[in-house]
Amino acid sequence: MDIDRPSDPQVSVVSSDGTMFHTTLKSILLSGTIKDMIEHIGEGGVENMGAIPLQNVDSKTLEIVIKWIEHHKDNIQPTSEEIKDKTADFIDPWDENFLEMDLDKLYNLITAANYLNIPQLLWLSTRKIAMLIKNRTPQEIRSLFNIEDDWTPQEIEAVQKENQWCEEK
């Protein structure tokens, strides 16, 4: 290991269903939520700290999150503010490949990224859904995401009329 870099101690986290995962401090600090928790423990406490319980993340999802944070632990993470200005042009192929998963897993990942406050992962995973919406018709969107059509034709007409005020950009 590069001697200039501080060591990267092991940290454990426990999923809502009681499975323990081991990862490194650098990786887990990508989560704003955990970063806040650790900052409250204070320095020196990290080595002696017990496993961190994550009551809102199940083991299947936590495994996926850990895979992502470990891959990206050395990257400079954009802040939520920087992400707002981001255009969705180029995506790291590793991430593109990583996000190939069924929708239920993706929803769980989004919820976890939101709870753990990992802005870049939240952006990537929600962008994935936005891309699925983009080139589909309302009917295709309903069937892809399993959404019930609860509009009556009269109601739809009223909504469409209202939309005539909106700029088509």
Give the residues lining the site for another protein (CB under 8 A).
71-76, 88, 90-94, 96-97, 103, 107, 110-111, 114, 122, 126-127, 129-130, 133-134, 137-138, 141-142, 145-151, 155-156, 159-169
Say which amino acid occupies 17: D
* Residue 36 Cβ vs another protein, minimum distance, rounded to whole Å: 19
Given the complex with another protein, which of 48 and 139 has the nearer CB atom?
A: 139
* Residue 101 Cβ vs another protein, minimum distance, rounded to whole Å: 15
By the 8 A CB rule, do 14 and 53 touch?
A: yes
The CA–CA distances, whole Å, from 16 to 23, 27, 52, 98, 115 equal: 17, 20, 11, 23, 13
* Residue 29 Cβ vs another protein, minimum distance, rounded to whole Å: 14
Would you list the DSSP string of 71-128?
A: HTTTSPPPPHHHHHT--S----HHHHHHT-S-HHHHHHHHHHHHHHT-HHHHHHHHHH
* Residue 87 Cβ vs another protein, minimum distance, rounded to whole Å: 10
Given the complex with another protein, which of 20 and 130 has the nearer CB atom?
A: 130
